[in-house]
Structure 1
Amino acid sequence: FGIALKIAILLMAAGIAGFDTSALVGMLAAAGFAVGLALQGGLGNFASGILILIFKPYKVGDWIDINGKFGKVEEIQIFNTILVTPGHKTLIIPNAQVTSQIVTNYSKKGFIRLEIDIHMPYEESFPKIKGIIEQVLEKTPLVLNEPVPQIGIETFDNFFVKISVKPYVKPDDYWDVTYDIRSRLKAAFSANHITVTYPESVRQGEIGG
């Protein structure tokens, strides 16, 4: 209040002395408006930060998605949430955006499901391939026994049968296990002489079991 009073007195004195103060008053008004908007946004982020700390929708170390921005929570500040992406990029997200958007927490339950698709030719035997996949999952480190992995036929395409493989892992192990399973599956299919489909040069074959 004291600063505002001093500015008003200076403006009055300048006006009495014959100076044109209209431009200066306009600049001060615009500056005041801008400061007000900045404070409004800052207060919104501050209030959202308090809500996040109280209700804890996520914590440091969790993998989350905020409006399409995915990463691991590195720090929860009073105004911002800091994420680090799998590519080691730092995302600084205002907390007001967090409380106004849908937040997906991949770490809340302690495990996450992988989704790996395999294209099986119609002439191959599904029970045979399912057995190979089960053996691969049993021998792959970091794949969880509970919940039980799911293996099933997802869809029947024109050229192949789409098999969905859905094991569960800890969130921090997601990418390592994904690459490991794919590598092991390729080796197992090769060792068991499992054929694959090539849509560019489709060949007909009998339907397996």
Structure 2
Amino acid sequence: MIFLVVFTAVVMQFTESVGIITALLTIMGGTIIGFAAMNTLGNIIAGLIIMITKPFSVGDRIRYKGKIADVVDIELIYTVLIDLDGVEIHVPNQLLLSEEIINYKKDGNIVRIGVVVTPGFDVEQQLVEKVLISAADNIPEVLTHPTPYVWINKFQNYAVEYELFVFIKDIKRLPLIHSNLHKSVLKACKQNDIDISTPVLLRNLS
């Protein structure tokens, strides 16, 4: 008789525990499903916003998180990109709307690119500007209108920071043109004995 009472109590306790565990699992499962559904719904809403507002379109070349890629498809949940290495990237639309995106659009749109150099204070300003402009003139893809120009951005401890700005229209070849512009600047500076590696004063102090 005592055994029967104890057994009944254990069964009832076990049943109650199972009920609690089942309820907890149901709540947790519902919460997880709810979050997943909210995330999916958020991406769908973001996809619709992208399709309506058109911050970029299929065929555009964009810069996203420092990486240049072409937009190949815009879906409800994901936007499909292909980077310069040919890698296909599926980006959730919510992420695209929450990040800064630079849209170079398609070929034919004029884009400005720049190259920074830091010669020492002992190098004449007019010489630096002349050499940088001549380096830009050696790149066929650089437009003559708008014309290239040079700015002084700031004074560093032992150097002056110059930036050469040029304009191009061949967006698909932007990385290659930018690289060639750097090469042209480096070559022109070497030919004119302009040291852009370490300023002379800094070398003398070391």
After TM superposition, the score normalised by the length of structure 1 is: 0.71
Whole-angstrom CA distance in 2 between matches of 1:31 and 1:160: 61
Deviations 1:133-189 (A, max 9, x none): 222212202112333322122223332222111112243333212221121222223
1:54-73 equivalent positions in 2, closer than 5 A: 54-66=52-64, 68=65, 70-72=67-69, 73=71
Work out the number of aligned pairs and report it: 183
Which ranges of 4 or more aligned residues in structure 1 deviate by more than 6 Å? none
Gaps of 5+ in 2: 1-14
Q: What is the DSSP-based 3-state SS (H/G/I as helix, E as strand, rest coil) of the residue aligned with 2:163?
A: strand
Q: Percent identity?
A: 20
The one of 31, 35, 38 equivalent to 1:37 is: 35
1:160-175 equivalent positions in 2, closer than 5 A: 160-170=159-169, 171-175=171-175
Q: What is the DSSP-based 3-state SS (H/G/I as helix, E as strand, rest coil) of the residue aligned with 2:164?
A: strand
**Structure 2 partner of 1:131:** 130
1:117-156 equivalent positions in 2, closer than 5 A: 117-156=116-155
2:192 corresponds to which letter in structure 1?
A: N
1:168-207 equivalent positions in 2, closer than 5 A: 168-170=167-169, 171-196=171-196, 197-198=199-200, 200-202=202-204
Gaps of 5+ in 1: 1-18, 204-209
Whole-angstrom CA distance in 2 between matches of 1:81 and 1:147: 34
Name the CA shift for 1:202/1:112 in 2 (closer, same or farther; >3 Å). farther
1:188 corresponds to which letter in structure 2?
A: A
> 1:114: Cα distance to partner?
1.8
Whole-angstrom CA distance in 2 between matches of 1:193 and 1:26: 75
Is 2:136–2:142's contact at 8 Å kept on the other side of the alignment? yes
**Structure 2 partner of 1:107:** 104
Is 1:111–1:168's contact at 8 Å kept on the other side of the alignment? yes
Q: Superposition RMSD on alpha carbons, in Å?
A: 2.9
Whole-angstrom CA distance in 2 between matches of 1:79 and 1:153: 45
> 1:50: Cα distance to partner?
1.4
2:48 corresponds to which letter in structure 1?
A: I
Whole-angstrom CA distance in 1 between matches of 2:120 and 2:31: 67
